[in-house]
Amino acid sequence: MGIGKFFIYTFIILCLFSIFIDLKIGSPINYTIDDPTLTNDEDSKVIDSKEQLTFKVVSYKISVGDTFISVMDQINEQSLNWDLEQYVTDFRALNPKVDIHDLQENARYLFPQYIN
C-alpha cells in the first residue's frame, strides 16, 4: 500500500467518523450575545402564533437555578392566562433541538414574551 492510498483511506475514515458524530450528537448551538439582560423592545420581533397569541421574542441568559417555568414567569409577569402547552410549543418553535428540562447555565435562549 502506497503512502497516497494510506492518506486517502485515513481521510475517508475521518470524514465518516465526523459525519457519524454530527448526526448522533449534533452541532452545538452557541449564541454570541454577551449582554446578560433581556433584549430591549427595539431588538425584539413580534410574532403571531397559530392561536393568535402575539408575542415578542426575548433573548435570555440562563442563570443558576433558572428553570423554563421560572424564566417564563419572570418574562411574562403581567400575564393572567397560563397556557403551559402553548408556552412550550412557542419556545420549541424558537429553539429547535432544545429540551426545556435541560437548559444550560450561561447559555442564551429565545423566549416568547406575550403581548396582552
What stretches in the chain show pLDDT beneath 50?
29-43, 46-51
pLDDT at residue 33 in the model: 41
* Helices 84-94 & 68-75 angle (0-180, nearest 10): 100
Among 94, 37, 39, which residue's Cα sits nearest to residue 61? 37
- Is the pTM higher than 0.85? The answer reads no
DSSP class of 49:
-
C-beta of residue 115 within 8 angstroms of C-beta of residue 46 = yes
Among 26, 63, 85, which residue's Cα sits nearest to residue 74? 63
pLDDT at residue 31 in the model: 40
